Structure 1
Amino acid sequence: MNLLEIQEYFSNNLVKFEDNVLINNLSKETTDILYQIGLPNHHTFGGDYEFFGNVELLDGKYLKLGTKNTFINEPFGLCIDIETQAIIGRTNYRTEGIRTYTINKNLKTYLEYIYTDIRFRDEVILPQILGQYYQNTEKYAKELKNRLMLIDKDDINTNFWHSSIGEMELGVI
């Protein structure tokens, strides 16, 4: 898989970002993705992710790229940690305050993981091979985990992906 393949797949849902000095301070690979390829509005674990083509600096450390709409209705930011370039989820719960968690180590891996997850859900899940989903959730979770590990074996252990695969194994999602 390469970024052009991902760009073709998401072509109608990609949001390219406006030129911004904050983006220009990120790695070349990240700026190329944001300016030339874009990020896809999509649905995956936990909600509908939306990108607006602009950024916002939060706490002087997190560059907010987008948000998600969830049933919980808490403020959420999909961010890049400007120091580490990691993709961070930043949630502001009314009772717990602001919590951050790692999603992927960089934007390229995030894009590849999202692409793989969505393709798996839309095209690969075949009851003829793995059986009906809700009777074989562990098989489906293992298959998705294996596919993600081919991209990057470490990011499967981030807070986001580890808990998402765990919920899939249990049949929660």
Structure 2
Amino acid sequence: MEPRSAAAAGRDFPYTSRTTCYIELHTDGRVTHGADRTTYERAVAGESKLYAVWPGQWSSHLFVIDDLNEYAKAHGIKHDVQRTGLAEHAHQVRWTESGGERNPRSPYISIEVSLECGCEIQDIDVFATQMRDQKGWAVATSVGWGSSSGPGGVTYSLRVRRKSLTA
């Protein structure tokens, strides 16, 4: 039985699901696992073939990763504005401290963020990387974040390392 095509599933393929396991078959016969930039680069160079196992409830399915461009976008190797909602530019950010901060000695603080450049946060990891590079912020990515819409646009609720915030 041949592996299924990840490309045929399009953007619905769970490239970044925690349950998707990547298998790399090298041209010399070695088998490794992982999903990083060097895996992608070897596959693009023809030095390996990339597969993914996607477990289902009763069985698992083997897919060939036959759209390396989509794989790279999903894993943040190539920037994808459609997936992230974030252009690659210096964001115009307005932020305020959230009301009701309970512990002034906590290393993290809750803030409300508005993006005045028209971008939307759809991927917190990408936003955190962009803010670290642009403003030196340490945005928490392992805790919940959210958004709300109002007359002034969309506001995002985030946690940020207190010492990294600057006006």
- TM bucket normalised to smaller: under 0.3
TM-score normalised per structure 2: 0.23
More helix by share: 1
Greater relative contact order (CA < 8 Å, ≥ 6 in sequence)? 2
Q: Which has the larger radius of gyration?
A: 2
